[in-house]
């Protein structure tokens, strides 16, 4: 072999070797993962393109691999030291590659990238380590899939119940929550279909047929349901069902989620209860009643039918509350509510719309106003019968009665819940004014009366008192018709409306507080008159009515004292008439005022005695001079044994306290005789002896020979 040939051969082998090496290198370089080949001294022999990209920030020195910030966890809080790992790989070479999951932090974005590091020691035929081959596999995609899978698992095992059916509808994949919610095991559910489960445990608000139709049309259905896993257990839930189809539109699966919203449902109920029901009685409140009424108005207008609206008030409830305390009042209201419920049907509306105001709306569907009126009257009788009775509350027995106002509706074209409630309210106020059978049907004249009331209120505010008002006087006579004194009674002679009785204008003036102006005027006039008549008869007494509104003014005593000084009246000629209610409400301050008046020398009389629920205990405490037996007791004397008993007991009570007694409303001889037969002197005031009259008339009758000095 000549040298040339040999060289050529050598050159060829070198070329081949070179080619092989380059081939190997290019294979390594073409590798999609980052590949590093290290010498046994851990110097990189080959770094492929991927590795150059991966470690581009660290390639400056040969020992760069040790500077790369590998970590053992995603958050990069545990460092992965690659040198000991490579040392170990070298120390115990094996056929199997050595692997580890590690993370690499990007110095720019600070994000970590998941990697699988896989290393293998390449050996010489003698078994010496020649190279270390290290591959870094990018696991980003796998990690994402892994997260996804964990998420899916978590979702499927969430708090919400979920299941997947097979194509036949059998529940093949229930999650734990679904099993817990339904009380059925995964095994048991396998033999139950979606519709089977719906039929067995779920109460839908629509039909299951409709659910299926919607599913077929839109592939999805969702709605609120009641879930009854056991006969006495109810969950409220939102059920969502989706239908999965394959490409040929065959049903593959149903996927359902059931979200337990029992908590929310209960909270909602509680809020509704607060917003729409009365705490004390559990009845509907005004708001709910108004809503029902509005619905009913629309219904009856559409169907040309009629129903009735009742307002029910307890007679003298305020007095019961004042005398026996709120607790007792509350108990009474609860019993009334209970009685009303027992009388009416479930679908009727019963509401408490104010203190002692109840509302009833029946589901009557009368075909005419007349028929509705008859039905309403019949019901009102039943209600009165059931509710007018003795109630036993807290060991006290209280007699209570109701007043009922009724309006039949639809009433007019402009009916609204608000209008009808005003009508019923007017009717119940009219019922209250009646003496017996306290039921009243609304009629337009009541609305007219309301308008009139507003006019009167306006007139009272602006009236010139001296021009329009007058004091009348009614005599009070003792034994042998001796003149004891008189009661002043206010009269209003309106320039256009004419004579208006105090029974009408006093309550309006009290409501609008014009009574303060009137009362002041009355006191001034009366004091002046009392002083004049005292000149004629030194022990003459003039009684003046004092409204509770007036009495409760903080400076009432000061005003009285001022008026005494201004008129120069002697207080022995003055009695102030108060009603029992004044003494009961705010007893402490009433007591103080009465004591102060007593010190001024002014006498106090209790007007309309016997009509309030007085506890009588105030009689012990207060310096009172006189009781006026209410006219309602005198009225049936001497016919009614009951009223005789009442009058006699009032008399003996007054005697025991050494009080003067006035009998009011004495109209007949028989009444006067009965009173005269009672032990001791009873003053008589009534039409029998004297009608209320003007000052001049009074003087003509009682001081004829001594003309008054004006």
Is 579 a binding residue for Ca ion by CB under 5 A? The answer is no
Q: Is the dihedral of CA 679, 680, 684, 689 positive or negative?
A: positive
Helix 502-511 with 444-462: angle, nearest 10 deg = 70
Q: Segment contacting Ca ion (CB under 5 A): 422-430, 539-547, 610-618, 646-654? A: 539-547
Tokens 């009334």 appear where?
336
d(CA 146, CA 196): 36
Q: Which of 278, 322, 364, 577 binds Ca ion (CB under 5 A)?
A: 577
Closest CA to 402 of 378, 380, 424, 377: 380
| Contacted by 7, from ligand C2E, Ca ion, none: CB < 5 to 8 Å by type | none
CB closer to ligand C2E, 428 vs 526: 526
Residue ranges in 636-665 that form contacts with Ca ion under rule CB under 5 A: 664
Stretch that binds ligand C2E, among 125-133, 184-192, 311-319, 659-667 (CB under 6 A): 659-667
Kindly tell me which of 103 and 609 has the beta carbon lying closer to Ca ion. Answer: 609
- From 380, 545, 567, 579, residue interacting with Ca ion (rule: CB under 5 A): 545
For residue 393, whether the previous peptide bond is cis, meaning omega lies within 30 degrees of 0, is no
Q: Which residue do the tokens 């209600």 mark?
A: 383
Full strand arrangement of the beta sheet holding 251-260: 171-174, 161-165, 251-260, 233-245, 220-230, 202-204
Footprint of Ca ion on 306-365 (CB under 5 A): none
Q: Which does 643 bind (CB under 5 to 8 A by kind): ligand C2E, Ca ion, none?
A: none
Contact window for ligand C2E (CB under 6 A) among 171-179, 237-245, 284-292, 681-689: 681-689
Q: Pattern 588-627, binding to ligand C2E, x per CB under 6 A? A: -------------------xx-------------------
Contacts of 367 (CB under 8 A, 6+ apart): 304, 305, 306
Part of the chain binding ligand C2E (CB under 6 A), chosen from 262-270, 407-415, 660-668, 702-710: 660-668
Nearer to ligand C2E, 162 or 605 (CB): 605
User: Do 551 and 578 form a contact (C-beta atoms < 8 A)?
Assistant: yes
Distance of CA 274 to the CA centre of its chain: 3
Q: What is the smallest separation between the CB atom of 509 and ligand C2E, expressed in angstroms?
A: 8
At its nearest, how many Å lie between Ca ion and the CB of residue 601? 21
The residue count of the chain comes to 710
Confirm if 654 and 646 have CB atoms less than 8 A apart. Answer: no
Could you tell me the two tokens for 633?
């007791």
Q: 627-646: which residues touch ligand C2E (CB under 6 A)?
A: 631
Nearest residue (CB) to ligand C2E, 423 versus 551 = 551
Q: Which is closer to ligand C2E, CB of 125 or CB of 498?
A: 498
Contact flag: residue 626 with Ca ion (CB under 5 A): no
Q: Which of the 8 DSSP states describes residue 284?
A: B
d(CA 341, CA 320): 22
Q: Which is nearer to ligand C2E, 256 or 523 (CB)?
A: 523
464-493 mask for ligand C2E (x: CB under 6 A)? Answer: ----------x-------------xxx---
According to CB under 6 A, which residues from 515 to 574 bind ligand C2E? Answer: 519, 522, 545, 547
For Cα atoms 144, 146, 150, give the angle at the middle one, nearest 5 degrees. 120
**Site stretch for ligand C2E (CB under 6 A), options 4-12, 163-171, 497-505, 587-595:** 497-505
Distance of CA 173 to the CA centre of its chain: 45
CA distances to 69, 101, 104, 135, 528 from 107, rounded to whole Å, are: 9, 19, 9, 21, 106
Q: How far is the CB of 698 from Ca ion (least distance, A)?
A: 16
CA angle 410/346/237 to nearest 5° reads 110
| 607 lines the binding site for Ca ion (CB under 5 A) | yes
> Tokens 């709120």, residue?
326
CA 41 to chain centre: 83
Where does this chain bind ligand C2E (CB under 6 A)? 474, 488-490, 501-503, 506, 519, 522, 545, 547, 607-608, 631, 664-667, 685-687, 692
Where does this chain bind Ca ion (CB under 5 A)? 545, 577, 607-608, 664
């Amino acid at each position: 072999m000549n040298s040339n040939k040999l060289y050529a051969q050598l050159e060829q082998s070198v070329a081949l070797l070179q080619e092989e090496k380059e081939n190997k290198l290019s294979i390594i370089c073409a590798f999609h993962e980052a590949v590093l080949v290290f010498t046994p001294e851990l110097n990189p022999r080959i770094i492929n393109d991927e590795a150059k990209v991966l470690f581009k920030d660290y390639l400056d020195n040969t020992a760069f691999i040790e500077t790369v910030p590998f970590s053992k966890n995603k958050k990069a809080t545990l460092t992965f030291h690659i040198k000991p790992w490579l040392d170990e790989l070298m120390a115990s070479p094996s056929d199997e590659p050595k692997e580890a999951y590690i993370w690499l932090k990007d110095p720019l974005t600070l994000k970590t990238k998941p990697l699988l590091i896989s290393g293998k020691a390449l050996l010489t035929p003698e078994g010496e380590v020649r190279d270390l081959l290290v591959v870094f596999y990018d696991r980003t995609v796998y990690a994402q899939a892994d997260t996804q899978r964990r998420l899916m698992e978590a979702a499927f095992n969430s708090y919400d119940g979920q299941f997947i059916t097979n194509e036949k509808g059998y529940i093949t994949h229930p999650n734990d929550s679904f099993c817990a919610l339904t009380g059925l095991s995964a095994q048991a559910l396998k033999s139950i279909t979606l519709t089977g489960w719906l039929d067995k445990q779920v109460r839908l608000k629509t039909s299951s047929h409709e659910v299926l139709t919607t599913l077929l049309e839109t592939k999805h259905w969702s709605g609120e349901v009641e879930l009854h896993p056991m006969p006495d257990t109810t969950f409220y839930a939102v059920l969502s069902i989706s239908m999965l189809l394959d490409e040929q539109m065959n049903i593959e699966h149903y996927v359902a989620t059931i979200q337990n919203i029992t908590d929310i449902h209960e909270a909602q109920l509680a809020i509704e209860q607060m917003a729409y029901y009365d705490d004390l009685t559990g009845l509907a409140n005004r708001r709910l009643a108004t809503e029902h009424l509005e619905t009913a108005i629309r219904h009856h207008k559409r169907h040309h039918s009629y129903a009735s609206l009742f307002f029910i008030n307890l007679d003298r409830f305020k007095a019961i509350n004042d005398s026996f305390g709120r607790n007792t009042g509350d108990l009474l209201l609860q019993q009334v509510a209970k009685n009303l419920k027992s009388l009416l049907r479930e679908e009727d509306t019963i509401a408490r719309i104010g203190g002692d105001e109840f509302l009833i709306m029946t589901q009557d569907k009368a075909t005419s106003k007349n028929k509705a009126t008859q039905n309403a009257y019949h019901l009102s009788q039943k209600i009165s019968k059931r509710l007018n009775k003795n109630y036993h509350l807290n060991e006290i027995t209280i007699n209570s009665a109701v007043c009922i106002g009724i309006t039949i509706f639809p009433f007019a074209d402009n009916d609204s819940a608000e209008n009808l409630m005003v009508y019923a309210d007017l009717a119940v106020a009219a019922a209250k004014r009646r003496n017996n059978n306290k039921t009243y049907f609304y009629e337009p004249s009541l609305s007219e009366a309301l308008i009139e009331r507003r006019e009167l209120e306006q007139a009272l505010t602006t009236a010139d008192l001296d021009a329009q008002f007058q004091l009348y006087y009614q005599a009070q006579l003792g034994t042998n018709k001796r003149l004891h004194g008189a009661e002043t009674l206010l009269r209003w002679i309106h320039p256009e409306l004419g004579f208006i009785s105090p029974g009408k204008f006093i309550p309006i003036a009290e409501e609008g507080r014009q009574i303060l102006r009137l009362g002041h005027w009355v006191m001034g006039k009366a004091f002046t008159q009392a002083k004049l008549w005292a000149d004629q008869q030194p022990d003459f007494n003039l009684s003046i009515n004092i409204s509770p509104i007036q009495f409760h003014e903080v400076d009432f005593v000061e005003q009285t004292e001022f008026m005494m000084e201004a008129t120069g009246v002697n207080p022995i000629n003055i009695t102030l008439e108060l009603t029992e209610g004044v003494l009961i409400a705010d007893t402490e301050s009433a007591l103080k005022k009465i004591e102060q008046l007593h010190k001024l020398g002014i006498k106090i009389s209790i007007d309309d005695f016997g009509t309030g629920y007085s506890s009588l205990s105030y009689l012990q405490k207060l310096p009172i001079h006189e009781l006026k037996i209410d006219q309602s007791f005198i009225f049936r004397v001497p016919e009614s044994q009951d009223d005789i008993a009442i009058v006699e007991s009032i008399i003996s009570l007054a005697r025991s306290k050494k009080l003067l007694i006035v009998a009011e409303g004495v109209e007949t001889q028989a009444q006067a005789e009965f009173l005269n037969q009672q032990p001791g002197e009873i003053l008589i005031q009534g039409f029998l002896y004297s009608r209320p009259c003007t000052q001049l008339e009074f003087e003509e009758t009682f001081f004829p020979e001594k003309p008054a000095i004006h």
